[in-house]
């Protein structure tokens, strides 16, 4: 089944050729969500492998043992991406597939290295530029067992740097776009504050046996920021001169709108919410070189302090702003002192504002609603605050009605809701570029329906429908994949 799209009529005609000639577009994925082969060919256990094999942790009781079998089917996947017209593919490396036990002195799994070499070569042979993420939430379980993983910055950092250097050495002759960490804030908030993701630590004993939401979240975040900077420093000094690549970090962040635009406290709360969610990581790296004052005011000594040496390497340590975003929330201030386990900035997040306006149409995921105007505002907010080139590294949606038996109907594959999401967001992106915002890529989340962390197979984000019940995890293209190809042909200036 094929679809055609015509963008030569208003309002899209005015956006033609808006994006730079070398703009990259494609899809983003994560190793733990797509590869499968979780304990074969020498791969070690990750914290997510352990988490999903622990009863009660994943919503539908599934595991990532097979996922979409991308490890076995990578050639098929690359061919399918090529048919969609993508120019780039963002994927993550599994640390425990490359170094099964993770540590600085632990042996390398050459079969794992071979897999990623083969994937990179296959992408390049098909004209697709690889964007490689070193860490997408899957710490080797052995490091968690040895010393608590990222809670121990002193022991963790040398292990991470050895892993990073090995990747630069083995893949950097072809990989020119590196991302150290994907969404370090989500990793810490879900894994150490709420305890609903691996490694499943929090203050809530009905949910987690260990952890302290009030402190560990910020300790782990500090470890991620500093180890990112150290990896970037090594890359710039030892590899970039001859490999000629870029290195950065990808941060999450949804837009926060005041619940009542006429209430100064809500306006302030929305700004504070953006600082707690986004500037938490972005200010040290791209801005002031330190955590936001609003965070220090609320958290006090529970928020770590950068040493002078750390500040010197953290500030300016990312060549670009890697940006993941999905939706917008209305934010209302809370009176009184913040709860000790609060990580939002002492605010309440709501689906409607004081006038009863909804933040957007519902998807098949409880927190995600289509909100393009907030996306446009967020692009400007980040650009105005940091003035760093933006690489959009994740953006996408689920759609209701896609949980069906194979083969999916024409109606399911004609995923109008997802097409409308992409169309409305990309209009905002193109308009932001017209306003002077420097945006250089867009990666849709995601290529195929996948294993969506603690949601299991219940959240279908893909532009390709997957039959998870079939041995081959049969792929069925959705209309949204072809829409993106057609629309980017319209938006990207001809070479």
Confidence band (pLDDT; 50, 70, 90) for 11?
A: confident
Tell whether 5 is covered by a domain: no
Nearest-CA neighbor of 138 among 107, 170, 112? Answer: 112
pLDDT in tens, 369-389: 999 999 999 999 999 999 999
pLDDT in tens, 188-211: 999 999 999 999 999 999 999 999
Q: Which residue has the higher pLDDT, 58 or 11?
A: 58
9: left (phi over 0), alpha (psi -120 to 50) or beta: beta
The CATH number covering residue 399 comes to 3.20.20.80
Confidence band (pLDDT; 50, 70, 90) for 7?
A: confident
CA angle 201, 340, 288 (to 5 degrees): 90
Tell whether 2 is covered by a domain: no
pLDDT at residue 235 is higher than 80: yes
Tell whether 3 is covered by a domain: no
173's CB contacts (< 8 A; 6+ apart) are 243
Instruction: Please spell the DSSP secondary structure of 432-484, one letter per residue.
Output: HHHTT--EEEEEES-SS----GGGTTS----SEEE-TTSTT--EEE-HHHHHH
Say whether 362 is catalytic. Answer: no
pLDDT at 495: 73
Tell whether 310 is covered by a domain: yes
Tell me the three state secondary structure of residue 104: coil
Domains identified in the chain, total number:
1
pLDDT at residue 1 is higher than 60: no
Contact 41, 47 (CB under 8 A): no
Tell whether 302 is covered by a domain: yes
Tell whether 181 is covered by a domain: yes
Tell whether 7 is covered by a domain: no
Say whether 183 is catalytic. Answer: yes
pLDDT in tens, 237-280: 999 999 999 999 999 999 999 999 999 999 999 999 999 999 99
In a 13 Å sphere around the CA of 385, the CA atoms on its Cβ side amount to 21
Confidence band (pLDDT; 50, 70, 90) for 2?
A: low
pLDDT in tens, 461-491: 999 999 999 999 999 999 999 999 999 999 9
Give whole-number Cα distances, 376 to 125, 164, 289, 301, 328, in Å: 35, 34, 26, 35, 11
Task: Tell me: cis bond preceding 50? Omega within 30 of 0 counts.
Answer: no
CA 344 to CA 372: how far, in whole Å?
A: 22
Name the catalytic one among 122, 144, 183, 275. 183
pLDDT in tens, 387-420: 999 999 999 999 999 999 999 999 999 999 999 9
The domain in which residue 100 lies consists of 13-491
**Would strands 246-252 and 177-182 be described as parallel, antiparallel, or unpaired?**
parallel
pTM of the model: 0.97
Confidence band (pLDDT; 50, 70, 90) for 8?
A: low
Tell whether 205 is covered by a domain: yes
CA 306 to CA 308: how far, in whole Å?
A: 6
Name the catalytic one among 144, 394, 428, 452. 394
pLDDT at 9: 63
pLDDT at residue 48 is higher than 70: yes
């Amino acid at each position: 089944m094929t679809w055609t799209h015509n963008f030569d009529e208003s309002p899209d005609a005015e956006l033609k050729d808006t994006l730079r000639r070398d703009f990259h577009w494609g899809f983003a994925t994560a190793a733990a969500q797509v590869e499968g082969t979780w304990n074969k060919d020498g791969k070690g256990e990750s914290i997510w492998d352990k988490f999903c094999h622990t009863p009660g942790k994943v919503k539908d009781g599934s595991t990532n043992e097979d996922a979409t079998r991308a490890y076995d089917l990578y050639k098929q996947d690359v061919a399918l991406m090529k048919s969609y017209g993508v120019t780039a593919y963002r994927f993550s490396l599994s640390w425990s597939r490359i170094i099964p036990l993770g540590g600085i002195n632990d042996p390398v799994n050459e079969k794992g290295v071979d897999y990623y070499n083969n994937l990179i070569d296959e992408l390049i042979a098909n004209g697709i530029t690889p964007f490689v993420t070193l860490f997408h939430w899957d710490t080797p379980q052995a490091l968690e067992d040895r010393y608590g993983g990222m809670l121990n910055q002193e022991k963790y950092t040398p292990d991470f740097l050895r892993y990073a250097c090995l990747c630069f050495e083995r893949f950097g002759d072809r990989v020119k776009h590196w991302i150290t960490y994907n969404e370090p804030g989500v990793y810490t908030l879900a894994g150490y504050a709420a305890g609903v993701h691996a490694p499943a630590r929090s203050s809530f004993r009905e949910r987690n046996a260990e952890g302290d939401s009030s402190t560990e979240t910020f300790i782990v975040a500090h470890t991620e920021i500093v180890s990112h900077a150290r990896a970037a420093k090594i890359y710039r000094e030892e590899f970039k001169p001859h490999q000629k690549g870029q290195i950065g970090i990808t941060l999450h962040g949804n837009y926060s709108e005041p619940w009542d635009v006429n209430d100064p406290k809500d306006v302030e709360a929305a700004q504070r919410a953006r600082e707690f969610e986004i500037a938490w990581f972005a200010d040290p790296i791209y801005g002031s070189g330190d955590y936001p004052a609003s965070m220090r005011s609320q958290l006090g000594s529970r928020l770590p302090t950068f040493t002078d040496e750390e500040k010197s390497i953290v500030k300016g340590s990312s060549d670009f702003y890697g940006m993941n975003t999905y939706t917008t929330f209305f934010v209302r201030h809370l009176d009184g002192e913040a709860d000790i386990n609060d990580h939002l900035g002492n605010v309440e997040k709501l689906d409607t504002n004081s006038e009863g306006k909804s933040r957007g149409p519902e998807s098949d995921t409880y927190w995600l609603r289509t909100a393009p105007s907030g996306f446009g505002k967020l692009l400007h907010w980040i650009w105005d605050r940091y003035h760093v080139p933006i690489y959009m590294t994740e953006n996408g949606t689920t759609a209701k009605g896609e949980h069906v038996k194979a083969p999916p109907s024409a109606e399911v594959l004609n995923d109008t809701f997802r097409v409308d999401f992409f169309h409305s967001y990309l209009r905002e992106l193109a308009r932001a570029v017209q306003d002077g915002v420097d945006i250089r890529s867009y990666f849709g989340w995601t290529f195929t329906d996948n294993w969506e962390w603690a949601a299991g197979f219940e959240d279908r984000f893909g532009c390709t429908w997957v039959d998870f019940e079939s041995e081959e995890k049969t792929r069925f293209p959705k209309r949204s994949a072809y829409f993106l190809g057609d629309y980017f042909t319209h938006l990207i200036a001809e070479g």
